[in-house]
Amino acid sequence: MITELYKYPVKGLTGQKLDTLPLIAHEGIEGDRAIAIARTPHVFDPASPKAEIKTKFLMLAKDEALANLETRYDTDLKELVIEKDNKSVLSASIESNDGKQAIADFFYNYLNKDDIEPRVVHAPEHKFTDISVVSKEKMRAISMINLASVRALEKAVGKPLDVRRFRANIYFDTGTPWEELEWLDREITIGSVAAKCVMLTKRCPATEVNPDTGQRDIRLPLELRKHFGHVNMGIYAEVQSSGNVLIGDKVIAI
pLDDT digits (tens, 9 = 90+) for 141-197: 999 999 999 999 999 999 999 999 999 999 999 999 999 999 999 999 999 999 999
What secondary structure letter does DSSP report for 24? B
Residue percentage of the chain with pLDDT more than 90: 100
Tell me the pLDDT tens digit for each residue of 67-120.
Answer: 999 999 999 999 999 999 999 999 999 999 999 999 999 999 999 999 999 999
Instruction: Determine the distance from the C-alpha atom of residue 166 to the mean position of all C-alpha atoms in its chain, rounded to a whole number.
Output: 8
Tell me the pLDDT tens digit for each residue of 236-250.
Answer: 999 999 999 999 999
Res. 200 pLDDT band, cuts 50 70 90: very high
Closest by CA to 7, choosing from 35, 39, 41, 33, is 33
Q: Enumerate residues 6+ apart whose C-beta is below 8 A from 197.
A: 180, 183, 184, 185, 186, 188, 235, 236, 237, 253
pLDDT (mean) for 45-73 = 96
167 and 211 Cβ atoms separated by less than 8 Å? no
Show the beta-strand stretches assigned E in the chain: 2-7, 16-18, 20-23, 35-38, 69-74, 79-84, 87-93, 119-122, 142-146, 170-172, 187-190, 193-202, 232-239, 243-246, 251-253
CA pair distance 159, 145, nearest whole angstrom: 18
The per-residue pLDDT for 142 is 98
Query: How far separated are the first and last CA of the chain, in Å rounded?
Result: 15
The per-residue pLDDT for 221 is 97
Report pTM: 0.96
Tell me the average pLDDT of the chain: 97
116 and 33 Cβ atoms separated by less than 8 Å? no
Q: Which residues face 153 on adjacent strands?
A: none
Residue percentage of the chain with pLDDT more than 70: 100
Q: What DSSP assignment string belongs to 106-150?
A: HHHHHHT-TT---EEEE-TT----TTTTT-HHHHT-EEEEEHHHH
Q: Enumerate residues 6+ apart whose C-beta is below 8 A from 251.
A: 1, 2, 144, 170, 172, 174, 188, 189, 190, 191
The per-residue pLDDT for 231 is 98
CA pair distance 121, 57, nearest whole angstrom: 10
170 and 201 Cβ atoms separated by less than 8 Å? no
How many CB atoms within 10 Å of residue 237? 28
3-state secondary structure of 104: helix
Q: Which residues face 79 on adjacent strands?
A: 74, 93
